Amino acid sequence: MQTVMSETSSQNAIDVQNAVKRFGDFTALKQICLAIADNEFFTLLGPSGCGKTTLLRIIAGFDEVTEGSVRLYGEDLGALPPNRRPVNTVFQSYALFPHMSVLHNVSFGLEMLGKSPAEARERAGRMLELVQLSQFADRRPGQLSGGQQQRVALARALAPQPKLLLLDEPLSALDLKLRKAMRIELKHLQRETGITFVFVTHDQEEALTMSDRIAVMSEGELQQVGASREIYERPCNRFVANFIGDTNLLEVTVDRIEGARAACHLGGGHALICEAVEGVRDGARVHLSVRPERLFATAEPTGPEALAARVVENVFTGTDITSIVELAQGPRLTLRSSNSERGNRRIFEQGATCFVNMEAGAGRLLVD
Amino acid sequence: MAGRTNLRTIPGFRALTLLCLFVLYAPLIVVTVYSFNASASITNWEGLSLRWYWDVFTGPDSGKFKTAAANSFLIAVSAATISTTIATLAATGMIRTGRFRARTLSFGLISLPLMVPEIVTAVATLIFFNAIALERGLLSILIAHVVFCIPFAYLPISARMQGIGPAYEEAALDLYATKRQTFTRILLPLMAPGIVSGYLLAFIVSLDDFIITNFVKGAGVETLPTAIFGAVKRGIQPNIMAISTLLLGLSILLVTLSWLVSRSDTTK
Ligand SMILES: Nc1ncnc2c1ncn2[C@@H]1O[C@H](COP(=O)(O)OP(=O)(O)OP(=O)(O)O)[C@@H](O)[C@H]1O
Ligand SMILES: [Mg+2]
């Protein structure tokens, strides 16, 4: 048992155990336990102020945990200073050295590692090529746009080939198009280099598109850790369901548990069958999360579970059409269908009556 | 702004402003203009000439002035160098070692000499030097100058340092630089404008100082200000105006330089 434990922990890039961080009497991290595997693209996702940067700073060595421990490849980091950790950071504020050229910024880490200036410059030049900034090598960081500065920061952190790269919201200053391109680029880069990425963002779409696994954080606590799909489709609580993507959160009462299925009813008495989850008993009042794209409207009921509703509004968003419908004496629901011939057949005029159907297994009961 | 009164509408504002400017600058202008006077009289204008500047460098008093000027520059350079070094280290310590309890107190202690009347410092320094039996001469002047130059050097350096923020140092540490490399390769270059500005201020303050120097200098050791004072006591000669104008010019030059340097900001 003992050996198995140490075996698994040495394969992890990062092992955070019961980490607590307090600033005075404010607790920024509350008992965080987290394991990040080698070669993983791991994302910390959460709203502003939830402690993402704090956790990164602890891994990088700028702050120490108040309680608990952080291990890097099985080795306790303790009070190892940041310059002795095989970890590089892309800072939220870039922190490019304003008095050095772009090239010198990128070669700095290599020089500090003892590489000869020529070798450092050569490698830095290749890193700049990688982020497509070769023509700006001799400029000062202040003469670059925000997006270019971010790419310099990325090149600078990648140049010394760290085992672990920490990225603190590195794409936040880019426009949507460039951000989307950089997402693919980053993911590609991570696969190619095999460096473990710990990526911080408060953008759920960014997290879903790039990550192998996501940790959702809120107020210094981990809410859920899992693969992108799992987090999206099987959120474990209301916070996660709400934070990741759009969802319909409905209050339901559980009538009966029948094996793996739970028979419930909504506010207006509308009956529903969904997957049972642990911790839900007969008669419990809990929440049900249903993604808008898993609901569809039809003119006639498709089965006994179809819910009669009236269309309140249709909103055209380009790729999709969102319909807001109201159940008879019940809550409002949001439905989404793609803007395609097939999808448009499921759109009904405002004020029309229709039936709302839920795809099998789409409803997720949330205990809290 | 409705609530704010326009200063210019206050009766007598313009007259008062002009009076203040006149009192401040008229003497300087008179001295500068009359330093170019061809006459040996300090009140009668007899035409433009560089005669008295010539006299400063070659006249009967020139030897005295040259020695005094050499002393002044030697002391100013040394005092500025030492005090700027101390101020740089102090600023690094005060701003980078996080909050410590005596921080406000330390800052107060460093800036206090700016508020103590100079004559008090002069007397106290003299008494102190007597007490420790320090022989009076160039060394005693230098020590006294280093002490009162520190706050002048400290203020622009710490102002600059406060604007830098810890992120650059963290980035350097993250990129495997040691604490020492972080200081020399990142912090010092970023602080340079503040350091140069502090150095120039310290230099000019040392060069111009009269009261403290006059107290702690030994007999026979003169700096430029004490030499000028000595000469004036024997009656104002036009060559004093020339030498004063030269000093004024140098001061303006250095202060302007200091201001320009502190304004140039590489982080923007
Ligand atoms: N040095 C500090 N002293 C006191 N409180 C701090 C300190 N650093 C962070 N905090 C607090 O800890 C909490 C978490 O901060 P953190 O910077 O980790 O947030 P974040 O998740 O990175 O947010 P953002 O998305 O806005 O960057 C915040 O409430 C913040 O005010
Ligand atoms: Mg942050």
Residue A160: the pLDDT is: 93
* B214 and B122 Cβ atoms separated by less than 8 Å: yes
In angstroms and rounded to an integer, the radius of gyration of the C-alpha atoms of chain B is 23
Looking at the CA of residue A24, tell me the nearest atom of ligand 1.
Answer: 4
Contacts of residue A82, defined as CB under 8 A and 6 or more positions apart, other chains included, come to A60, A61, A62, B170, B173, B174
* B30 and B45 Cβ atoms separated by less than 8 Å: no
Tell me what percent of chain B is helix, strand and coil, each rounded to the nearest 5: 75, 0, 25
The residue-averaged pLDDT of B239-262 equals 87
In a domain, A80, yes or no: yes
Residues A199 and A283 in one domain: no
In a domain, B3, yes or no: no
The predicted-structure confidence for B106-149, as pLDDT tens digits, reads as follows: 778 888 878 889 899 999 999 999 999 888 889 999 999 999 99
Which of B164, B174, B184, B191 has the most A C-beta neighbours within 10 Å, making it the best mutation to test the interface with A? B174
Contacts of residue B40, defined as CB under 8 A and 6 or more positions apart, other chains included, come to B238
Residues A204 and A349 in one domain: no
Give residue for tokens 């809990």.
Answer: A286
Residues A279 and A295 in one domain: yes
CA nearest ligand 1 atom 7, residue: A23
CATH number at A34 reads: 3.40.50.300
Contacts of residue B5, defined as CB under 8 A and 6 or more positions apart, other chains included, come to none
Element (H, E) at B95: helix B62-96
Residue B98: the pLDDT is: 62
In a domain, A310, yes or no: yes
Q: What SS3 class is residue B160?
A: helix
In a domain, A4, yes or no: no
Q: What is the CA(A24)–ligand 1 centre distance, in A?
A: 13
Residues A160 and A280 in one domain: no
Residue A121: the pLDDT is: 94
Is A98 close to B190, i.e. CB distance below 8 A?
A: yes
- Pick the residue from chain A with its C-alpha nearest to B175: A109
In a domain, B92, yes or no: yes
Residue B152: the pLDDT is: 92
Q: Is B217 left (phi over 0), alpha (psi -120 to 50) or beta?
A: beta
CA-based nearest distance A93→chain B, Å:
8
In angstroms and rounded to an integer, the radius of gyration of the C-alpha atoms of chain A is 25
In a domain, A2, yes or no: no
What is the pTM (predicted TM-score) of this model? Answer: 0.81
What is the domain count for chain B? 1
CA-based nearest distance B97→chain A, Å:
14
In a domain, A1, yes or no: no
Domain residues for the domain of A281 are 246-366
Residues A226 and A264 in one domain: no
- Closest-CA residue to A196 (of A216, A224, A170, A166): A166
In a domain, A7, yes or no: no
Choosing from A215, A238, A261, the residue where a domain stops is: A238
Domain residues for the domain of B97 are 68-264
In a domain, B206, yes or no: yes
Q: Which residue has the higher pLDDT, A156 or B264?
A: A156
**Residues of B whose CB is below 8 A from A89:** 171, 174
Joined tokens for residue B170:
């963290």
**Residues of B whose CB is below 8 A from A99:** 189-190, 266
- Closest-CA residue to A266 (of A206, A333, A220): A333
In a domain, B256, yes or no: yes
User: Based on the number of CB atoms within 10 Å of its own CB, is A79 exposed (0-12), middle (13-18) or buried (19 or more)?
Assistant: exposed
Residue A195: the pLDDT is: 93
Residue A7: the pLDDT is: 42
Confidence of residue B100 (pLDDT cuts 50, 70, 90): low
What is the domain count for chain A? 2
The predicted-structure confidence for A157-194, as pLDDT tens digits, reads as follows: 999 999 999 999 988 878 888 888 888 888 998 998 89
Residues A74 and A117 in one domain: yes
* A245 and A204 Cβ atoms separated by less than 8 Å: yes
In a domain, B55, yes or no: no
CA nearest ligand 1 atom 14, residue: A51
CB atoms within 10 A of CB A188: 10
Q: What is the CA(B181)–ligand 2 centre distance, in A?
A: 27
What percentage of chain B exceeds 70 in pLDDT? 94
Residues A111 and A204 in one domain: yes
Residue A1: the pLDDT is: 32
Confidence of residue B3 (pLDDT cuts 50, 70, 90): low
* A13 and A163 Cβ atoms separated by less than 8 Å: yes
CA distances from A320 to A85, A175, A180, A342, A346 (A): 47, 22, 19, 12, 12
Question: What residues does the ion ligand 2 have nearby, CB within 5 Å?
Answer: A 53
In a domain, A345, yes or no: yes
Is B167 close to A108, i.e. CB distance below 8 A?
A: no
CATH number at B248 reads: 1.10.3720.10
**A52 Cβ inside 6 Å of ligand 1:** yes
Residue B85: the pLDDT is: 96
CB atoms within 10 A of CB B117: 9
**A21 Cβ inside 6 Å of ligand 1:** no
Cα A44 from chain centroid (whole Å): 6
Residues A115 and A214 in one domain: yes
Choosing from A203, A238, A273, the residue where a domain stops is: A238
Residue B4: the pLDDT is: 65
In a domain, B144, yes or no: yes
What is the residue type of A146? G
Average pLDDT, chain B: 87
Is A97 close to B168, i.e. CB distance below 8 A?
A: yes
Give the span between the Cα atoms of A343 and B39, in whole angstroms.
103
Residues A230 and A319 in one domain: no
Residues A250 and A357 in one domain: yes
| Length reported for chain A | 368
CA nearest ligand 1 atom 4, residue: A23
Is B171 close to A96, i.e. CB distance below 8 A?
A: yes
CATH number at A279 reads: 2.40.50.140
Residue A4: the pLDDT is: 37
Q: In this predicted complex, what is the ipTM? A: 0.81
Residues A307 and A163 in one domain: no
- Work out the widest C-alpha separation in chain B, in whole angstroms: 71
Residue B149: the pLDDT is: 93
In a domain, B56, yes or no: no
Ranges of beta strands (E only) in chain A are: 12-23, 26-37, 41-45, 67-72, 75-76, 87-90, 164-168, 196-201, 213-218, 221-227, 248-258, 261-265, 271-275, 285-290, 295-298, 307-316, 320-327, 332-338, 353-358, 364-366
Residues A97 and A126 in one domain: yes
| Length reported for chain B | 268
Give the span between the Cα atoms of A302 and A297, in whole angstroms.
10
User: What is the sign, positive or negative, of the torsion defined by CA atoms of A295, A297, A298, A302?
Assistant: positive
* A150 and A95 Cβ atoms separated by less than 8 Å: no
Which of A108, A139, A144 has the most B C-beta neighbours within 10 Å, making it the best mutation to test the interface with B? A108
- Pick the residue from chain B with its C-alpha nearest to A83: B176
In a domain, B186, yes or no: yes
Choosing from A238, A272, A294, the residue where a domain stops is: A238
Q: Render each residue's pLDDT in chain A as its tens digit; 368 residues.
A: 333 344 444 578 999 999 999 999 999 999 999 999 999 999 999 999 999 999 999 999 999 999 999 999 888 887 789 999 999 999 988 999 999 999 999 999 999 999 999 999 999 999 999 888 999 999 999 999 888 998 999 999 999 999 999 999 988 878 888 888 888 888 998 998 899 999 999 888 899 999 999 999 999 999 999 999 999 988 989 999 989 888 999 888 888 888 888 888 887 777 888 888 887 888 888 899 999 999 989 888 887 778 889 999 999 888 888 999 998 877 889 999 888 888 788 888 888 899 998 888 788 888 87
